[in-house]
């Protein structure tokens, strides 16, 4: 299934093909194989349900790295920065995902007095667990397959209502499972993973400053070459790639919320870019348009 790239509708996520009639309010993909949807570190406004079926991968959420095992379920507030790092052949990677808008589902949830169904997304921001019951997991994946089928084709009011009700039932199944047979992940993280998390946390806390690898390696008491190698191995990024991606995401957020209250130069400075000229070049190369054009497009869409 071919996807259109460089979308800003989901703030880093792709626009599905025309068959998905309810995007960006709702998108469902069941048992998707391979790396055709691999994104850079990104965030989006939708809540996300992610199920890992097969492969060898890490899931990076903000500065935390989680080892995935078959049956892992992640309930995620998509505004948290996240990325999957595949650690073997992409074709071995198999997952199911659902993205849905809180505003789109809220009327049904509120009307049913079922706000507790969204607690994992709103209160905890993300929750990671596995379900031990194969029967329960089968029920959940069958619901996702049904939702994917419903979400394709021409939009219909009746079908949209069925999607919302089915999604609410899926959330109820996940909630009930948490009371019965959830096994939370408390894995022992390797020394490399712990160092990678420390590096990511440092970069996020200091992205607005001038950062040199030798200063960071001294902070962690590691050689620069070893630090660079382990971070790339654990996250899929070099240290500077991660830093520049993080700066870009922060810049896009500022441009979206500040309207014209901040100049492009002020935005560049706040996000740690050397100059507004460097910021403009980097932004255009990665987003496909200048910061000014990006801001005007967001404003027009609103």
DSSP 111-157: HTT-GGGGHHHHTSSEEEEEE--HHHHHHHHHHHHHHHHHTBSS--H
Q: How many CB atoms lie within 10 A of CB 166?
A: 16
Residue that is written with structure tokens 């950062």 in the block: 211
pLDDT at position 2 is 33
pLDDT at position 298 is 79
Q: What is the pLDDT of residues 84-104, one digit of tens each?
A: 988 888 889 999 999 999 999
Number of C-alpha atoms within 13 angstroms, CB side, residue 45?
Answer: 15
- What 3-state DSSP class applies to 158? helix
Number of C-alpha atoms within 13 angstroms, CB side, residue 44?
Answer: 29
pLDDT at position 1 is 34
Residues of the chain with pLDDT under 70: 1-20, 35-39, 178-188, 259, 301-302
pLDDT at position 297 is 84
Q: How many CB atoms lie within 10 A of CB 214?
A: 10
Closest CA to 100 of 42, 155, 144: 144
pLDDT at position 131 is 81
């Amino acid at each position: 299934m071919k996807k259109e790239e460089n979308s800003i509708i989901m703030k880093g996520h792709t626009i599905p093909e025309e068959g998905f009639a309810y995007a960006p309010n709702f998108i469902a993909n069941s048992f998707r194989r391979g790396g055709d949807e691999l994104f850079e570190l990104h965030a989006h406004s939708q809540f996300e349900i992610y199920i890992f079926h097969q492969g060898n991968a890490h899931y990076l959420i903000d500065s935390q790295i989680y080892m995935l095992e078959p049956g892992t379920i992640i309930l995620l507030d998509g505004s948290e920065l996240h990325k999957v790092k595949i650690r073997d052949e992409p074709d071995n990677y198999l997952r199911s995902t659902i993205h849905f808008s809180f505003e789109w589902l809220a009327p049904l949830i509120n009307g049913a007095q079922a706000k507790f169904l969204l607690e994992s997304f709103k209160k905890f921001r993300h929750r990671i667990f596995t379900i031990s019951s194969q029967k329960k997991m089968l029920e959940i994946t069958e619901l996702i397959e049904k939702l994917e089928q419903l979400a394709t084709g021409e939009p219909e009011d009746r079908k949209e209502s069925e999607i919302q009700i089915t999604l609410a039932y899926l959330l109820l199944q996940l909630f009930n499972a948490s009371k019965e047979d959830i096994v939370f992940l408390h894995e022992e993280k390797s020394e490399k993973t712990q160092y990678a998390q420390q590096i990511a946390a440092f970069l996020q806390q200091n992205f607005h400053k001038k950062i040199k690898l030798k200063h960071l390696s001294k902070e962690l008491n590691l050689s620069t070459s070893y630090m660079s190698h382990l971070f790339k191995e654990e996250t899929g990024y070099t240290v500077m790639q991660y830093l520049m991606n993080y700066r870009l995401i922060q810049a896009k957020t500022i441009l979206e919320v500040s309207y014209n209250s901040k100049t492009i130069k002020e935005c560049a400075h706040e996000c740690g870019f050397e100059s507004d000229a460097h910021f403009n070049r980097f932004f255009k190369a990665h987003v496909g348009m200048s910061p000014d054009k990006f801001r005007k497009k967001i404003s027009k869409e609103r």
